[in-house]
């Protein structure tokens, strides 16, 4: 089903309109005379160093194997020059050049195109090829520069000449006719089967040259005597279609690493597509993982892309891919309607809302995951990040490991004081969203408010509020210190309240006597403590969910101290400390 949807996407977007040609940037044109003499090397790169995009004969799939393109390829094949070659690898350069020349000779022998003869003579002239290399400084060559040929005063590359195109089409048709024909599992039609499939490129942790999603390249994969692609019969056209679709979704754009993908951890990427329009897909990507430019546009009209549309009945598809050297693994696959995804995304943004006046503003996935990253820089395991993003799209529960990771990060001292308030918000927002979505045995779901709920009697929530008040008392009395009670006691207070709070309450009495606003904060402390059960105010242990509620209560109470109070609240408001006034 997944390969069928990808193949359909490739056909609908015109990616397989010409299966024998592809569009690639060509960096240089080698201009020759009618007799094959070198007239010059003509760069076609723009001011950013990118070659002009041209239609060229589709390059063969290759990793360590030698396979040449036809009349257009990189420096290693066209000139036999690899600037990064190690000692003893000269033979590989000769073999690449020979493979490139062989195709040109074959075309020249079977046609009467004089331009092909000119290219053949140039390629066989070692001095002419050396002159091309000398046109640039030795350290300017990378080996990946793409070339094409023009002859005489023509502006059309040789590979675009009608007679040359006709020969290339005949050659490929003859090769296809020699393949085995069977029923294709993707299209459901008879077709010539692909023995090997093209490579998917730009998948994290995969080889830079690309990796195979469908591959049978060892004896262990042979089944019932069938080898390579015979094990999963897919036509050449369908194999090309699904790979072109993935490569289009995964290609780099000016703003993103993946044109239509979201990085998930270090080793995975989620790509999605629809049978709707490119505009719909762009709007969904802006919501699911907004770039800085997207955030600027969404300031005045948040979530406008999630408004109901006549296209909401169209299908939505997503797949999460992970690389493993020469192979691509599928971590997750999901399909539904666009309308269902919009509804789930709205719930996702609502679940993440935190603080008074908070809006359903999108936050990029990488920022959320970065907020719970360990100080060592090690992010969440790929499977946790994959399940979290999948749950957001499906409207399902977040993995419990996300709650554990966010709490673990909260217990550590802040690594950057300037970013601390925003990082704290993101961590607690993830905790809140995870708590709301956790499955429950009873009919009642867990209620977690967006902002401070002064009437909430939940013991873990009240304890979190109390901890924030005690922290504020310490700050008002001592100012900035190297280690606050949050740095030293937050973890223990959230796990084992009975071991920490009695001591913190004793300290708070001394802090209140020193703080200018001690009286108001003591009153606030009393109001919060009045919500605790008098017989057992501090439980010995809080489970993981209650530790999450503790963190939410702490954040809500802490954020209230950042809010300026209107003068109408009277003298108490004047005495109340406001973070904005500090």
pLDDT tens digits along 213-236 = 988 766 666 676 676 767 788 999
Average pLDDT, stretch 515-524?
A: 87
Measure the CA dihedral 303/304/306/308, to 10°.
150
pLDDT of residue 384: 84
Provide the mean pLDDT of the chain. 86
Instruction: Check: CB of residue 426 under 8 Å from CB of residue 368.
Output: yes
| H or E element at residue 32 | strand 28-32
The set of residues, in sequence order, having a beta carbon less than 8 Å from that of 92 and lying 6+ positions away, is 66, 82, 85
Average pLDDT, stretch 495-523?
A: 91
pLDDT of residue 537: 93
pLDDT of residue 443: 45
pLDDT of 88 higher than 80:
no
pLDDT of 147 higher than 60:
yes
Strand blocks (E) in 261-400: 261-264, 268-274, 315-324, 327-337
Measured distance CA(79)–CA(72) in Å, rounded: 11
Measured distance CA(454)–CA(530) in Å, rounded: 11
Which pTM does this prediction carry?
A: 0.82
pLDDT of residue 569: 46
pLDDT of residue 446: 67
Task: Please tell me whether residue 151 adopts helix, strand or coil conformation.
Answer: strand
Measured distance CA(86)–CA(114) in Å, rounded: 37
Average pLDDT, stretch 191-200?
A: 88
Q: Which of 88, 99, 90 is nearest to 65 (CA)?
A: 99
pLDDT tens digits along 266-295 = 788 999 999 988 888 888 888 888 776 776
Average pLDDT, stretch 555-582?
A: 61
pLDDT of residue 442: 47
Task: Provide the residue ranges of all domains of the chain, joining segments of one domain with +.
Answer: 21-174, 179-250, 261-437, 459-581
pLDDT tens digits along 368-418 = 888 888 777 676 777 888 888 889 899 999 988 889 989 998 888 776 566
Q: Which two tokens stand for residue 226?
A: 């069938």
pLDDT of 580 higher than 60:
no
pLDDT of residue 415: 62
Rg (CA), the chain: 32
Task: Please tell me whether residue 42 adopts helix, strand or coil conformation.
Answer: strand
Residue holding tokens 């696959």? 333
Measured distance CA(527)–CA(508) in Å, rounded: 15
Q: 29: which strand partners?
A: 42, 148
pLDDT of residue 301: 56
Mode of pairing for the β-strands spanning 146-151 and 28-32: parallel
Average pLDDT, stretch 291-314?
A: 69
Task: Please tell me whether residue 382 adopts helix, strand or coil conformation.
Answer: helix
pLDDT of residue 250: 96
Q: For 311, how many CA atoms within 13 A lie in the half-sphere containing its CB?
A: 14
pLDDT of residue 418: 61
pLDDT of residue 582: 40
pLDDT of residue 207: 87
Q: How much of the chain exceeds pLDDT 70, in percent?
A: 88
Measured distance CA(251)–CA(107) in Å, rounded: 32
Average pLDDT, stretch 342-350?
A: 88
Q: What angle do CA 18, 21, 194 make, to 5 degrees?
A: 80
Query: What is the pLDDT confidence band of residue 491, given thresholds at 50, 70 and 90?
Result: very high
Measured distance CA(453)–CA(309) in Å, rounded: 36
Measured distance CA(57)–CA(171) in Å, rounded: 12
Instruction: Check: CB of residue 209 under 8 Å from CB of residue 199.
Output: yes
Burial class of 178 by CB neighbour count within 10 A (0 to 12, 13 to 18, 19+): exposed
pLDDT tens digits along 28-71 = 999 999 999 999 999 998 877 788 999 999 998 776 778 999 99
Instruction: Check: CB of residue 256 under 8 Å from CB of residue 291.
Output: yes
pLDDT of residue 9: 95
Q: Which of 520, 503, 514 is nearest to 475 (CA)?
A: 514
Instruction: Check: CB of residue 232 under 8 Å from CB of residue 272.
Output: no
Q: What is the DSSP string of 254-298?
A: SS-SSTTEEEETTTEEEEEEESS-HHHHHHHHHHHS--HHHHHHH
Q: Sign of dihedral through CA atoms 452, 456, 461, 466? A: positive
Instruction: Check: CB of residue 493 under 8 Å from CB of residue 500.
Output: yes
Instruction: Check: CB of residue 393 under 8 Å from CB of residue 318.
Output: yes
Out of 77-86, 279-288, 300-309, pick the least confident. Answer: 300-309
Instruction: Check: CB of residue 542 under 8 Å from CB of residue 550.
Output: yes
């Amino acid at each position: 089903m997944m390969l069928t949807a990808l193949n359909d996407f490739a056909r609908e977007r015109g990616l397989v309109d010409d299966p024998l040609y592809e569009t690639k940037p060509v960096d240089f044109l080698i201009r020759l005379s009618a007799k094959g003499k070198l007239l010059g090397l003509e760069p076609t790169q723009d001011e950013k160093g990118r070659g002009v995009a041209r239609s060229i004969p589709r390059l063969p799939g290759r990793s360590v194997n030698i396979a040449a393109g036809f009349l257009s390829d990189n420096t290693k094949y066209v000139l036999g020059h690899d600037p990064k070659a190690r000692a003893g690898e000269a033979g590989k350069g000769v073999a690449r050049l020979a493979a490139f020349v062989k195709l040109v000779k074959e075309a020249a022998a079977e046609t009467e195109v004089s331009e092909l003869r000119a290219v053949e003579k140039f390629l066989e002239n070692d001095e002419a090829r050396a002159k091309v290399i000398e046109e640039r400084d030795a350290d300017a060559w990378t080996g990946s520069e793409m070339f094409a040929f023009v002859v005489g005063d023509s502006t059309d590359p040789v590979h675009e000449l009608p007679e040359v195109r006709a020969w290339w089409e005949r050659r490929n048709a003859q090769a296809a006719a020699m393949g085995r024909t069977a029923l294709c599992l993707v299209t459901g039609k008879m077709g010539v089967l692909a023995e090997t499939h093209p490579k998917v490129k730009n998948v994290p942790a995969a080889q830079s040259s690309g990796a195979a999603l469908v591959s049978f390249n060892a004896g262990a994969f042979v089944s019932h005597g069938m080898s390579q692609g015979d094990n999963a019969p897919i036509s050449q056209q369908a194999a090309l279609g699904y790979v072109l679709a993935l490569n289009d979704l995964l290609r780099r754009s000016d703003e993103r690493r993946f044109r239509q993908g979201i990085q998930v951890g270090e080793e995975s990427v989620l790509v999605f597509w629809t049978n709707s329009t490119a505009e719909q897909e762009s709007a969904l990507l802006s919501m699911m993982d907004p770039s800085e430019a997207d955030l600027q546009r969404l300031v005045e009209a948040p979530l406008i892309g999630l408004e109901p549309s006549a296209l909401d009945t169209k299908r939505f598809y997503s797949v999460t891919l992970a690389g493993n050297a020469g192979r691509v693994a599928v971590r997750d696959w999901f399909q539904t309607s666009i309308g269902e995804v919009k509804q789930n995304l709205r719930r996702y943004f609502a679940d993440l809302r935190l603080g008074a006046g908070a809006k359903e503003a999108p936050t990029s996935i990488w920022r959320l995951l970065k907020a719970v990253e360990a100080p060592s820089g090690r992010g969440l395991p790929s499977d946790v990040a994959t399940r979290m993003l999948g749950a957001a799209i499906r409207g399902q529960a977040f993995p419990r490991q996300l709650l554990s990771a966010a709490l673990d990060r909260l217990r550590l001292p802040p690594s950057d004081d300037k970013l601390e308030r925003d990082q704290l918000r993101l961590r607690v927002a993830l905790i809140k969203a995870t708590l709301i979505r956790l499955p429950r045995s009873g009919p009642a779901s867990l209620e977690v408010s967006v902002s401070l709920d002064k009437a909430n009697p939940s013991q873990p929530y009240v304890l979190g509020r109390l901890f924030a008040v005690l922290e504020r008392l310490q700050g008002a009395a001592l100012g900035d210190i190297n280690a606050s009670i949050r740095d030293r006691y937050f973890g223990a207070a959230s796990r084992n309240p009975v071991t920490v709070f009695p001591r913190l309450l004793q300290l708070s009495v001394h802090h209140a006597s020193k703080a200018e606003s001690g009286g108001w904060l003591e009153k606030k402390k009393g109001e919060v403590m009045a919500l605790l059960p008098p017989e057992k105010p501090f439980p010995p242990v809080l489970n993981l969910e209650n530790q999450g509620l503790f963190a939410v209560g702490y954040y809500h109470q802490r954020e209230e101290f950042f809010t300026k109070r209107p003068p109408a609240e009277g003298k108490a408001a004047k005495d109340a400390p406001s973070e904005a006034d500090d």
